[in-house]
Amino acid sequence: MKNDIEYYYNIKIDNLEQLNNCYYFSYNQNPYYLVELNRPVEDLKDILNVCEELKKKNIKCHMFMLNKDQKIITQINNINYLILKPLENEKDEVDLIDIVK
């Protein structure tokens, strides 16, 4: 999987660990997750729209990394994956006030 990530994203990753159904790695000293897309591809557009609206309202959310073809979805071994860059401090908690905003 490490070689696939490096090939499809044109990056050199520091390490790769599998955590449940996703992979965790570091790139430029930042954490990233490679996660399987367990929803229909058509849902991704709505998910991206929600993320954009959250960002406009200064609500934190993970960012998506584009692959070398400038696409969000990468197919590896016939499985659709996404790479997510977690929040700056993924231990930050989001409370009800953040959600209501």
Mean pLDDT of 76-101: 72
What are 12-47's pLDDT values in tens digits? 997 899 988 789 999 988 899 999 988 888 888 888
Read off the tokens for 2: 């490490």
Read off the tokens for 29: 């000293």
Q: What is the pTM of this model?
A: 0.76
Give, in order, the Cα–Cα distances in Å from 30 to each of 11, 78, 82: 12, 27, 16
97 pLDDT band (50/70/90 cuts)? low
Residue from 64, 62, 57 nearest 88 by CA:
62
Q: Residue 92 has what pLDDT?
A: 53
- Average pLDDT over the chain reads 84
